[in-house]
Structure 1
Amino acid sequence: MLKGLLFDLDGVLTNSAKFHLTAWNNLAKELGIHLTDAQLDSLRGISRMDSLNLILKYGGQEDKYSEAEKEKFAAEKNAKFVEQVETMTPKDILPGIPELLADAKKQNLKMVIASASKNAPKILTRLGIMDEFDGIVDPATLHHGKPDPEIYEKAQEIAGLKANEVISFEDAKAGVESIKAAGQFAVGIGDKELLKEADYIVPSTADLKLSEIEKVFEEK
């Protein structure tokens, strides 16, 4: 029986993912690394340091910088991202999400954020939906990034539920893999081929209908 919903943040509840990708792309250029669209897209849903290490790998610069230098790069990127976050308003909530959250509230479903972003509380506050959620996974407590299941297992733990009692929402391949590794029902938002491991896929958040997702969830 469905008792809770677990959400990634960037690209699922709001379009802050574009701010992340722009900030990472600008940093990569400063380091003399030119990312392809596919390489940039692969940064979705993974942690800050994992993203930076991947960029350096793409540029053949894995061993060029010390950990202290990497921390400095990550901090610079985050400062630029936060500048963009400060411009966000409730208008930046993606289509279909307000209705989905309202339907979940009517059913008294637990709702938890499973995002690798350390800025999740700030973003949710800017969007005006912080109070809708029962908890947020603290990325500082995580030892492994997506596609490892840890973040979704922690979100499930915060909700106080079992794997077969939750539905989790993601827009990234690594995120869907994380959900499935945690033994949960995955809703993928975006490209059908990229997110093919998900149990239910929609092209955009505007297509999310809780009643329809629940039907498939109950059949599984």
Structure 2
Amino acid sequence: MGDIQGVIFDLDGVIVDTAVHHFQAWQRLADQLGFSFTEKDNERLKGVSRMDSLNILLEIGGISKTEQEKLELAAQKNSEYVEAISQMTENEILPGIKAFLAELKEAGIPIAIGSASKNTPIILERIGLKDAFDTVVDGNVINKAKPDPEVFLTGARRLNIDPSHCVVFEDAQSGIEAAKNAGMYAVAVGDAAVLSGADDYVSSLEEVTLDRLKKVI
């Protein structure tokens, strides 16, 4: 890919771990609907939009709902989730993130958030990173969910960088596929046994430095 000209981060599971808040909100909804929803089931929802997640949840429970009922259930889940994330603090920023962001800033490399979450602005504000990124592309401005590359291509366009010179950090299979569909270098934050198709793998951002990244690329 040549030189690194921009870096795009997924939010959930990369910058902060909101997965537990999502899982608990979906689990409460499943309980209410009369079936159990496990952590294994929850893996299918990672990186997936809210309505698509709800459809997967209903499929797991073997439950059929009208479009209006689905909208109401999704709004209920989101309300519970927003209540949980509104209590977040900067202590919930994952290890290694602040140091790596500072290193990228110092090197003059533009950075972006590329997330399906419509709650991205709330989370960034609560953890004190609202102004840390050059642009934020989230579920409020895109129409197509990952693995469609729209979120990352929009990020590259806003940063004014060719996609082939962008590095993406992702923790979800759909996100890795979206990054590759965008023609970008994909770094998976997770296990190669679970996440396939990435160009590089790290267990956390604590392992990542700009120097290491340049070497592997």
TM interval, short-chain normalised? over 0.9
Structure 1 148/76 Cα, relative in aligned 2: closer, same or farther at 3 Å?
same
Q: Does 1:85 align with 2:80?
A: no
| CA apart distance, 1:128 | 0.7
Aligned twin of 1:129: 129
Aligned twin of 1:48: 50
TM-score (norm 2): 0.94
Deviations 1:68-117 (A, max 9, x none): 11111111111111111121111111000001100100111111111111
Residue-pair matches, total: 215
Partner secondary structure for residue 118 of structure 2: coil
- Return 5+ residue gaps in structure 2 as ranges: none
Aligned twin of 1:114: 114
Aligned twin of 2:154: 154
TM-score (norm 1): 0.93
Q: Does 1:198 align with 2:163?
A: no
* AA in 2 matched with 1:27: L
> Identity percentage over the alignment?
41
| CA apart distance, 1:206 | 2.2
Q: Quick check: 2:23–2:39 contact (8 Å CA) kept in 1?
A: no
Aligned twin of 2:144: 144
Aligned partners of 1:188 and 1:33: how far apart in 2?
Answer: 32
| CA apart distance, 1:163 | 1.3
Aligned partners of 2:161 and 2:9: how far apart in 1?
Answer: 15
Deviations 1:171-217 (A, max 9, x none): 11111111111110001011221223111101123222232122212
Structure 1 98/114 Cα, relative in aligned 2: closer, same or farther at 3 Å?
same
Q: Quick check: 1:192–1:203 contact (8 Å CA) kept in 2?
A: no
Aligned partners of 2:188 and 2:56: how far apart in 1?
Answer: 23
Aligned partners of 1:60 and 1:154: how far apart in 2?
Answer: 36
* AA in 2 matched with 1:116: A
Q: Quick check: 2:120–2:138 contact (8 Å CA) kept in 1?
A: no
Matches within 5 A, 1:5-24: 5-24=7-26
Aligned partners of 1:21 and 1:161: how far apart in 2?
Answer: 35
Deviations 1:106-164 (A, max 9, x none): 11111111111111011111111111111111423433211111111111112111111
* AA in 2 matched with 1:45: G
Aligned partners of 1:210 and 1:45: how far apart in 2?
Answer: 25
Aligned partners of 2:113 and 2:20: how far apart in 1?
Answer: 19
- Return 5+ residue gaps in structure 1 as ranges: none
Question: Could you tell me which of 25, 28, 38 is aligned with 2:27?
Answer: 25
Deviations 1:6-62 (A, max 9, x none): 01101100111211121112112211232233221111111111110111112222x
Aligned partners of 1:48 and 1:38: how far apart in 2?
Answer: 18
Aligned partners of 1:33 and 1:191: how far apart in 2?
Answer: 29
Q: Quick check: 2:9–2:112 contact (8 Å CA) kept in 1?
A: yes
Quote the RMSD (CA, aligned, Å).
Answer: 1.3
Aligned partners of 1:214 and 1:68: how far apart in 2?
Answer: 49
Greater mean deviation of Cα atoms: 187-196 or 166-175: 187-196
